[in-house]
């Protein structure tokens, strides 16, 4: 009985961390915009100041892409205010 509870608790914790509900798509966009390599790529052309940013869910992170590249934003990264 105790093993079942322990296994269920462990699996539940892994699922919650993998889902990472506290990392929203908007937060992932903001985090990527603060990356230095993102700023260097998009500062060269004035027309790409606000490029289209797409966010996809991956286990334990988000995959954020523009037409120039992609970045992984993991669940432990936070928005710097």
The pLDDT-based confidence of 5 (bands split at 50, 70, 90) is: very high
Residue 77: predicted pLDDT: 84
Measured between alpha carbons, how far is 27 from 76 in angstroms, rounded to an integer? 12
Q: Give the model confidence (pLDDT) of 48-63 as tens digits.
A: 567 788 999 988 899 9
Direct distance between the N- and C-terminal alpha carbons of the chain, in angstroms, rounded to an integer:
46
Give me the residue label for tokens 């940013």. 53
Residue 76: predicted pLDDT: 85
The pLDDT-based confidence of 46 (bands split at 50, 70, 90) is: very low
Where along the chain do its domains lie?
2-74
Comparing 20 with 78, the larger pLDDT belongs to 20
The pLDDT-based confidence of 7 (bands split at 50, 70, 90) is: very high
């Amino acid at each position: 009985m105790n093993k079942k509870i322990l296994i269920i608790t462990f699996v539940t914790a892994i699922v919650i961390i993998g889902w990472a509900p506290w990392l929203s798509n908007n937060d992932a966009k903001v985090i990527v915009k603060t990356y230095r390599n993102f700023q260097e790529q998009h500062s060269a052309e004035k027309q790409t100041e606000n490029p289209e940013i797409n966010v996809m869910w991956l286990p334990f992170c988000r995959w954020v892409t523009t037409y120039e590249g992609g970045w992984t934003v993991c669940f432990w990264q936070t928005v710097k205010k």
